[in-house]
Structure 1
Amino acid sequence: MSIRTVLLHAAPDSGFNDRLAFAVALARQSGAAIKGLYTLYPAGVPRVGRALSIYVNELVREAKEKEGGLKAQFEQATAAAGLAASWETIEGEVASSLREAVAFADITVVSETPYGTVDDQLAATLPEHLAMACNGPVAVVPTGKPVPARIGKVLIAWKPSREAGHAVRFALPVLAAADEVEVFTVEEGDTTTADSGAKLAAWLATHGVNAKHRHVAEGNAGHAITNEVQKFGADLLVMGAYSRSRFAEMVLGGVTASLLVDPPVALLIAH
Structure 2
Amino acid sequence: MSIRTILLHAAPDSGFGDRLSFAVALARQAGAHLKAVYTLYPAGVPRVGRALSIYVNELVHEAKEKEAGLKAQFETATEAAGVKGSWQTVEGEVTSALRDEVTFADVTVVSETPYGTVDDQLAATLPEHLALACNGPVVVVPTGKPVPARIGRVLVAWKPSREAGHAVRFALPVLTVADEVEVLTVEEGTPGIADSGARLAAYLTTHGVNAKHHHAAGGHASSIIANEAQKFGADLLVMGIYSRSRLAEMILGGVTASLLVDPPVPLFAAH
Q: Give the TM-score normalised by the residue count of structure 1.
A: 0.96
- Which residue does 1:56 correspond to in 2? 56
- Which residue does 1:66 correspond to in 2? 66
| Alpha-carbon distance in 2 for matches of 1:248, 1:226 | 25
- Which residue does 2:35 correspond to in 1? 35
Q: Is the 8 A contact 1:242 1:249 kept in 2?
A: no
- Which residue does 1:213 correspond to in 2? 213
- In structure 2, stretches of 5+ residues that fail to align are none
Report the Cα offset of residue 113 of structure 1.
2.4
| Alpha-carbon distance in 1 for matches of 2:90, 2:249 | 34
- CA-based RMSD of the aligned residues comes to 1.5
Residue identity matched to 1:123: A
Most deviating of 187-196 and 227-236: 187-196
- Which residue does 2:93 correspond to in 1? 93
| Alpha-carbon distance in 2 for matches of 1:96, 1:84 | 25
Q: Is the 8 A contact 1:39 1:97 kept in 2?
A: yes
Q: Is the 8 A contact 2:181 2:209 kept in 1?
A: yes
| Alpha-carbon distance in 1 for matches of 2:243, 2:186 | 15
Change (3 A) 1:121 1:80: same
| Alpha-carbon distance in 2 for matches of 1:248, 1:135 | 14
Change (3 A) 1:87 1:2: same
* Structure 1 segments (4+ residues) deviating >2 Å: 243-251
- Which residue does 1:232 correspond to in 2? 232
SS state of the match for residue 176, structure 2?
helix
SS state of the match for residue 268, structure 1?
strand
SS state of the match for residue 46, structure 2?
coil
- Which residue does 2:160 correspond to in 1? 160
Report the Cα offset of residue 254 of structure 1.
1.2
Report the Cα offset of residue 131 of structure 1.
1.1
Q: Is the 8 A contact 1:160 1:193 kept in 2?
A: yes
Q: Is the 8 A contact 1:161 1:243 kept in 2?
A: no
Report the Cα offset of residue 243 of structure 1.
5.7
- Which residue does 1:201 correspond to in 2? 201
- Which residue does 2:25 correspond to in 1? 25
- Which residue does 2:122 correspond to in 1? 122
| Alpha-carbon distance in 1 for matches of 2:17, 2:244 | 33
| Alpha-carbon distance in 2 for matches of 1:240, 1:103 | 18
Deviations 1:173-218 (A, max 9, x none): 1101111100000011124100000000010011110100000121
Aligned residue-pair number: 270
| Alpha-carbon distance in 1 for matches of 2:251, 2:227 | 23
Identical residues among aligned pairs (%)? 80
Q: Give the TM-score normalised by the residue count of structure 2.
A: 0.96
Report the Cα offset of residue 124 of structure 1.
2.4
- In structure 1, stretches of 5+ residues that fail to align are none
SS state of the match for residue 77, structure 2?
helix
Most deviating of 116-125 and 147-156: 116-125
